[in-house]
A and B are shown apart, each in its own frame.
Chain A
Amino acid sequence: DAMVIQNPRYQVTQFGKPVTLSCSQTLNHNVMYWYQQKSSQAPKLLFHYYDKDFNNEADTPDNFQSRRPNTSFCFLDIRSPGLGDAAMYLCATSTGQSNSPLHFGNGTRLTVT
């Protein structure tokens, strides 16, 4: 049974048109992460929430925002997508303890036309 669910699996948006990607979890984990993975590169952490506390990586562009309305859901908003934002976006969860693993969804592949 999928425990971290990302919808949609594939998303196409137009240059400059806002887009929202969603992630839900059934694990009741405290922490939810968003990673960006471009072709042939490693996943890159954008930000994460510990409960309601938002933690942004220093080099994450302002164009990327996130919302976590409750424990189960987290959203990634791209306010004005550029061609360079085309990537796989991965959501992950954890309990927040470093001796527990991250659980990843299968990602949303974003195409910008």
Chain B
Amino acid sequence: DAKTTQPNSMESNEEEPVHLPCNHSTISGTDYIHWYRQLPSQGPEYVIHGLTSNVNNRMASLAIAEDRKSSTLILHRATLRDAAVYYCIPAYSGAGSYQLTFGKGTKLSVIP
């Protein structure tokens, strides 16, 4: 399954946009790119996913590079509730079903 590289940590000021990068240079052509976040003491929460085109939803936007070797999660206005660990995960189709293998993620801190 594809390996990912994300910054260990990032900081943002409240109310400002945040761009969280992810490299996934070994991703296969059919793997969707999923993003999840995990707040302290909670299970991971789905944020967004995409295949080739950029995607938007009420939580965030996902910009996918044309060669699909990288993607960027965009939070348009960071709030204190967005402080979490963000995981970028290619959805690997292995035995039985697709699987999500979590990397170390990026810990986002939001400064008031």
Contact = CB atoms under 8 A, between A and B. Distances in A.
Interface of A: 4, 30-31, 33, 35, 42-45, 48-50, 53, 55, 90, 92, 94, 96-99, 101-107
Contacts of B87: 42
Interface residues of B, number: 27
B9 to A, nearest CB: 12
Contacts of B103: 42
A98 B104 CA distance: 21
Nearest to A104: B43
A102 B96 contact: no
B30 interface: yes
B25 interface: no
Interface in B82-112: 87, 91, 93-105
B31 A98 contact: yes
